[in-house]
Structure formats: structure tokens, C-alpha cells
Amino acid sequence: MDDPAETNRSDSEAIDAELVDSFEEDVEPFLTARAVQNRRQIQLSARRLFPIAAVLFVLTCFSTWYVQQSLTYSVAVMSILLSHELGHFLQALRYRVPASPPLFIPMPSLFGTMGAVILQGGGFANRKALFDIAISGPLAGLVVALPIAWFGITQSTVEALPENARTLVFGDPLLLKWLIELHHGPLPPNHDVILNPLLFAGWVGIFVTALNLLPVGQLDGGHILYTLIGRRAHKVAMGLVAAAAGWMIATGNLSYVLFLMLILLFGVKHPPSADDSAPLGTGRVILGWLTLAFLFIGFTPVPLDEHSPEDASPPPTVESADAIAV
């Protein structure tokens, strides 16, 4: 009769040998054989998250439908977010960086979701791989978000803001202002574009993409900036966090306080890649800076505001989604 311990040991040795052979064939000089074995173990653990990811995806589809009672909004915003996350995930597969499937976070209020995350094994991506994984998410998301936003604008109407009621107004990033003016022309004073499901989904997609491109910590922008300028990105990140905290204190606008707390919790500085010396090439460097520049036209410091006429006494709150302007 075979000894179970000997059988397990033989199987383990066979697996180790296979992993070492695989390592020798890989063009990955920055990984040790033990790291290759660890990668395999992390990949197996990540696969166990697929059922959880599927449940979270369904729940987030429901929550995005629930907040607007609109299938159009749910399909549009989930398409944007899924494209973003698949951009990261497919590049991680390409570079054999162990990663979980996209884990969506349902939230039955406001946008209907807090986005999604992908858990990656640290220390497996060199500078080039880290750049490609980081930048593919925002670019893939924008490929879907921009047409959706444009179709939403073409179906939107311009109306005067109520003179005797408070109205919730979503702040316009520069990009949306340009697109709105391109289609509707200059807006009359005290007028705004009324949101529809497609336009709202496009706004969310642009806003979330810009938020992720902030060059801080583990955000997409933090990854990209680190691959471009190395450890000097730490000073940029710390300066940006300090400036954001100062701005919120000075203005009393706490829209980003939770987001700032999460950044501080997960760390402001970016950890090193598996090989920071791996070259990017001129094309990637240019694309990286252009992608980070999207922050200036896609981000809005005041995402939500309230139009409150002075003569409203007391003004009724407008609750209809049709009265929410962008």
C-alpha cells in the first residue's frame, strides 16, 4: 500500500518541478522560482472569488437599477464600470500577474454603486506591466463612457432652473461643458441641462474615471505616475492629499472626506514594482501623461451642489429625478 505522505510529497515535488520549468521558459528575470510558485497559489485563491464576484455583480446591477428605476441607466453605468475593470483584468492575465475577478460594490443610493476593485498579487508586475495594467482600465472605461455621455446629451433638454425650489445640481467637468455647448450652444443664464439616464451614466463614468486618475497611492493615477517618475511620485501624492485636506477645511465642502480617509487607510505612497528599471518607451510615456491630463477636464471639485433661490421661503425640495440638472 502506498504511503499517503510519500504520495503527497511526490505530487508536491512534481508541481515544484513543473513550476521551475515554467519559470525557466518565462522571460521574467525579476521573478524567482519561489515567486512563480507563490503566483500559482495566489491564482488558485483568486479563482475561488469568482462565485462571490458573480453575486456582487448581480447585486450591483440591481442597486444601479434601484436608484434610478431605470434599466437604461443600469445597463449603461454597469457597461462603463465593467469595461474599466476588464481593462485591468485582461492586462493582468496578459502579464500573468495574479488578480481576482472584478468585485463590484453595490450601494442603494446616489449612483447605485461604489465602483469595483480587483485584488492583485504584489511584487509580480514590473514597471512596464504595471503601467499597462493601470492605464488600460481608464482608457477602456472612457471608450464606453464618452459615447454614452454624448448620446445622453443629444437626448437631453435645456430648461430654466426653478425660481422657488431647491434643485440638486451635478457639477460639470470641463469635458461635459464642452460637449453640452457643442450640441446645445451657450446656455442662457439660470438654465441647465436636465439629466436623463444615459447622460447620468456618462457623467458617473467620466467622474469615476477622473477620480481614479488622481496620482495617489493605489489609484490608477498613482500607478501611472509611479511608472513615469518613480519615487518622486510620493511627494506629489503627499502634496495632493495635503492640498485636498486644506481645501475641504477652507471651503467646508466635505464631499471627498470619505474618499480621503480611504486613501490614507490604504496608503499614500506607492510600493515599488517587481522591476522599476524596466523601460516604458516613448509611446507609453506620452500616453501616460496624456491620460493623467484627463484629470483636468474630467474631474469636478464640487460633484454635487444645490441651487437655492434667495426668494424661496421656505423652498420645497425637488425630489423628481427629472428636475436634477447636470
pLDDT(304) > 90: no
Section 113-135 average pLDDT: 87
pLDDT(148) > 70: yes
pLDDT above 70: percentage of residues in the chain: 78
Confidence (pLDDT) at 319: 35
Confidence (pLDDT) at 37: 54
In tens, the pLDDT along 235-250 reads 999 999 999 899 888 8
CA 93, 97, 101, 103 dihedral sign is negative
Confidence (pLDDT) at 155: 94
**DSSP assignment of 2-48, as one string?**
--HHHHHHHHHHHHHHHHHHHHHHSS-TTS-HHHHHHHHHHHHHHHT
Distance CA 262, CA 258 (A): 6
Quote the mean pLDDT of the chain.
Answer: 81
In tens, the pLDDT along 47-91 reads 788 889 999 999 999 999 999 999 999 999 999 999 999 999 999
pLDDT(225) > 70: yes
C-alpha cell at 48: 475561488
Contact 54, 104 (CB under 8 A): no
pLDDT(262) > 90: no
pLDDT(17) > 70: no
In tens, the pLDDT along 153-174 reads 999 998 887 777 677 778 889 9
Section 269-284 average pLDDT: 90
In the DSSP assignment, the letter for residue 192 is: E
**212 vs 46 pLDDT, higher one:** 212
Q: How confident is the model at residue 290 (pLDDT cuts 50, 70, 90)?
A: very high
Confidence (pLDDT) at 316: 38
- Total residue length of the chain: 326
Measured from the Cβ of residue 272, the count of other Cβ atoms closer than 10 Å reads 14
Measured from the Cβ of residue 199, the count of other Cβ atoms closer than 10 Å reads 27
CA distances for 151 relative to 64, 147, 187, 293, angstroms:
19, 6, 18, 24
pLDDT(1) > 50: no
Section 265-276 average pLDDT: 86
With CA atoms as reference, report the closest residue to 136 among 147, 125, 151, 123: 125
